[in-house]
């Protein structure tokens, strides 16, 4: 466990940070020590030079004094002024050497005291020399001899004093050397140790970094492969993924998400606003509510919404999102968005087919009801009356009357048989119709011709507009036109000239929303408005039910099938039909056909 911990620590990035901090401090230490040592060496070098300069100047001083002495001696012996030349030169220059020494020992009290003593001795020596030269002929030999002796003594003292100073300088030099040696004794070992230590650390760091880079390379390779696999998988599986970092408010969209939107990968900034702009306006709230659910309840949220691609195509997508919190509390929402258009449209067409099936089943049973009830009703009555006549009046009839009566009875029985057979047939057979590109104006014209006689009789006026050419079952659409017009004419007001207004228009999205169209198809809206009797709006739905009638059969003969047929036809065309009316104020029939 400990080894594991150490290994984990070794592999962690904080280990590298610690190593670099230690190495940095070691280097600063080395640099500091080296600087101090170099400074000390330079300082002592300076001191050595100074000592040598002091000794050199003192030597010079002594030599100048000796020159002066020699010159003076020669002059006294020869009386030749040529010997005064070195004397004069030495007298002129010794002051320079003296002030040099004075400058060099300015910081040293002991040497300054020594120098002051030397200065007095030199002054004394020079004054003796001067007095010897000023009166060389007046003084006698004994005086001269005395003076020369005194001069020699002073000169000896000068030599002694210079030696004292020289020795002192030598002593300083050796002390400093000793100090320097003592000081730099530890430095090289310490520096060496630090250098070794640093090398060790750098070696270690290098190994670690090298190791890390290797690992990084390997991880990078794997990551590349994973990313490529993911990208391929997204294309094959028609899905995409996205991330939302809550702390930084940064979004990441996968390439395929851009393709969903009909855009080049990474062609715009990944953010919520840009993404929302592609979502169908009616579906945006779904995404926003779903996101809130994820954020507030921490639940996985699934929702289906439509995307309007850049090229206007509508794509149905399913999005699943989830909130993730990592070890250091960073929150990220991740999501997968899948293109389910095919599935959606498939299920859509399936449910449409189911609807059709249910409708045709309902229709079939409605037809069964018709066959078993409405057609049989008059027939049953005929048979009932036949049975009454047969019971009571048959014997009173003539021979031929009885014969005909028997024939009627036989034919009636046959008719019942036919109806029963027809019912069986209808249960087994289902009509198939073919859709054709048809000019609806022609169909309307045909319908009007069909009804020409009654239109003429009623003096009816029909206002019409130009109709479109649509993919329809022609005879069925003509049937609608015929049924609606004849319906209006039949239920026209007595003594009022019937007027029928026919309109047709391609409806916009807003109007489509009014009739709750869920598909993105476009529709044509047709209206047939009359000025007839009308009916109460509460019957608006009932009148489309098979055999449903609002008037009794003696006043307005009819079967109650006409409008049911209209509804059936419109259903066949995936359209809608409804009606608005007020009793006594005419009726309007409206139907929608897909464009």
Partner 1 sequence: MNKDHTKILLADDDEDDRMIFTDAFKEVKINTKVDVVKDGNELMDFLKEPENDLPDVLFLDLNMPCKSGVECLAEIKSDERLKDMAIVIYSTSASEKDIEDTFVKGANVYLQKPSDFGVLKKLLSEVIIMNWQYQTSGLNRDNFLLSL
Binding stretches for partner 1 (CB under 8 A)? 365, 368-369, 372-374, 376-377, 379-381, 383-385, 387-388, 391, 416, 547, 549-552
CB of 276 to partner 1, least distance (A): 51
CB of 550 to partner 1, least distance (A): 7
Is residue 516 classed exposed, middle or buried when 0-12, 13-18 and 19+ CB atoms within 10 A define those classes? exposed
CB of 405 to partner 1, least distance (A): 15
Q: What is the DSSP pairing of strand 331-339 with strand 301-308?
A: unpaired
Q: What is the DSSP pairing of strand 250-253 with strand 239-245?
A: antiparallel
CB of 587 to partner 1, least distance (A): 17
Decide whether 220 or 365 has the Cβ nearer to partner 1: 365
- The pair of structure tokens assigned to 535 is 């009916």
Place of tokens 């020289």: 166
Decide whether 396 or 459 has the Cβ nearer to partner 1: 396
Long-range Cβ contact pairs of 514-523 (< 8 A, separation 24 or more) = 515/576, 515/592, 517/592, 519/348, 520/314, 521/594, 521/595, 522/594, 522/595, 523/575, 523/592, 523/593, 523/594, 523/595
CB of 367 to partner 1, least distance (A): 11
The closest alpha carbon to 436, from 469, 406, 413, 391, belongs to 469
- Give the angle subtended at the CA of 306 by the CAs of 288 and 338, to the nearest 5°: 90
Place of tokens 């929608």: 592
Decide whether 243 or 420 has the Cβ nearer to partner 1: 420
Is residue 178 classed exposed, middle or buried when 0-12, 13-18 and 19+ CB atoms within 10 A define those classes? exposed
Residues forming beta bridges with residue 506, ordered by sequence position:
524
Decide whether 457 or 538 has the Cβ nearer to partner 1: 538
CB of 388 to partner 1, least distance (A): 5
Please say whether the dihedral angle defined by the alpha carbons of residues 556, 560, 562 and 563, taken in this order, is positive or negative.
Answer: positive
DSSP three-state, residue 197: helix
Decide whether 191 or 383 has the Cβ nearer to partner 1: 383
Decide whether 164 or 389 has the Cβ nearer to partner 1: 389
Decide whether 55 or 564 has the Cβ nearer to partner 1: 564
Decide whether 344 or 539 has the Cβ nearer to partner 1: 539
CB of 530 to partner 1, least distance (A): 21
CB of 557 to partner 1, least distance (A): 14
């Amino acid at each position: 466990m400990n080894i594991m911990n150490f290994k984990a620590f070794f592999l962690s990035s904080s280990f590298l940070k610690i190593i670099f901090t230690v190495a940095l401090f070691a280097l600063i230490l080395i640099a500091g020590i080296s600087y101090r040592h170099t400074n000390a060496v330079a300082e002592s070098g300076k001191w050595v030079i100074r000592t040598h300069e002091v000794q050199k100047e003192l030597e010079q001083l002594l030599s100048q004094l000796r020159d002066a002495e020699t010159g003076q001696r020669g002059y006294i012996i020869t009386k030749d002024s040529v010997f005064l030349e070195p004397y004069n030169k030495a007298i002129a220059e010794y002051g320079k050497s003296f002030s040099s020494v004075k400058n060099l020992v300015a910081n040293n009290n002991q040497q300054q005291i020594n120098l002051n003593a030397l200065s007095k001795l030199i002054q004394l020596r020079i004054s003796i020399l001067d007095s010897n030269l000023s009166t060389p002929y007046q003084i006698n030999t004994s005086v001269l001899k005395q003076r020369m002796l005194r001069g020699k003594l002073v000169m000896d003292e000068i030599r002694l004093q210079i030696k004292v100073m020289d020795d002192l300088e030598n002593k300083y030099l050796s002390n400093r050397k000793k100090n320097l040696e003592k000081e730099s004794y530890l430095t090289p070992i310490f520096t060496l140790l630090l250098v070794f230590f640093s090398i060790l650390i750098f070696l270690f760091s290098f190994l670690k970094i090298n190791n890390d880079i290797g690992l990084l390379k390997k991880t990078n390779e794997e990551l590349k492969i994973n990313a490529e696999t993911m990208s391929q998988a997204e294309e094959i599986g028609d899905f995409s993924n996205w991330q939302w970092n809550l702390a930084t408010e940064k979004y990441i969209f996968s390439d395929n998400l851009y393709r969903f939107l009909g855009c080049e990968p990474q062609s715009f900034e990944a953010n919520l606003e840009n993404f929302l702009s592609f979502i169908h306006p009616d579906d945006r709230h779904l995404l926003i509510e779903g996101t809130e659910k994820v954020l507030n309840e921490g639940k996985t949220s699934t929702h289906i919404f439509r995307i309007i691609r850049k090229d206007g195509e509508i794509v149905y997508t399913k999005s699943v999102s989830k909130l993730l919190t990592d070890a250091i509390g960073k929150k990220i929402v991740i999501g997968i968005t899948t293109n389910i258009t095919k599935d959606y449209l498939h299920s859509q067409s399936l449910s449409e087919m189911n609807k059709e099936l249910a409708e045709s089943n309902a229709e079939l049973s409605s037809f069964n009801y018709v066959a078993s009830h409405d057609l049989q009703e008059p027939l049953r009555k005929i048979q009932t009356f036949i049975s009454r006549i047969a019971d009571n009046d048959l014997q009173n009839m003539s021979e031929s009357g009885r014969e005909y009566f028997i024939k009627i009875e036989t034919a009636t029985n046959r008719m019942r048989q036919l109806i029963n057979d027809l019912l069986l047939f209808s249960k087994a057979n289902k009509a198939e119709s073919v859709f054709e590109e048809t000019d609806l104006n022609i169909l309307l014209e045909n319908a009007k011709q069909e009804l020409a006689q009654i239109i003429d009789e009623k003096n009816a006026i029909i206002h019409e507009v130009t109709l479109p050419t649509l993919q329809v079952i022609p005879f069925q659409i003509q049937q609608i036109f015929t049924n609606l017009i004849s319906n209006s004419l039949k239920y026209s007001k007595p003594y009022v000239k019937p007027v029928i207004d026919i309109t047709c228009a391609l409806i916009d999205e807003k109007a489509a929303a009014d009739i709750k169209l869920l598909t993105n198809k476009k529709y044509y809206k047709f209206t047939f408005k009359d000025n007839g009797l009308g009916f109460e709006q509460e019957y608006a739905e009932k009148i489309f039910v098979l055999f449903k009638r609002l008037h009794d059969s003696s006043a307005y003969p009819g079967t109650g099938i006409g409008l049911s047929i209209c509804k059936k036809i419109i259903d066949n065309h995936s359209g809608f039909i409804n009606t608005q009316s007020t009793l006594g104020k005419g009726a309007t029939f409206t139907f929608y056909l897909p464009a």
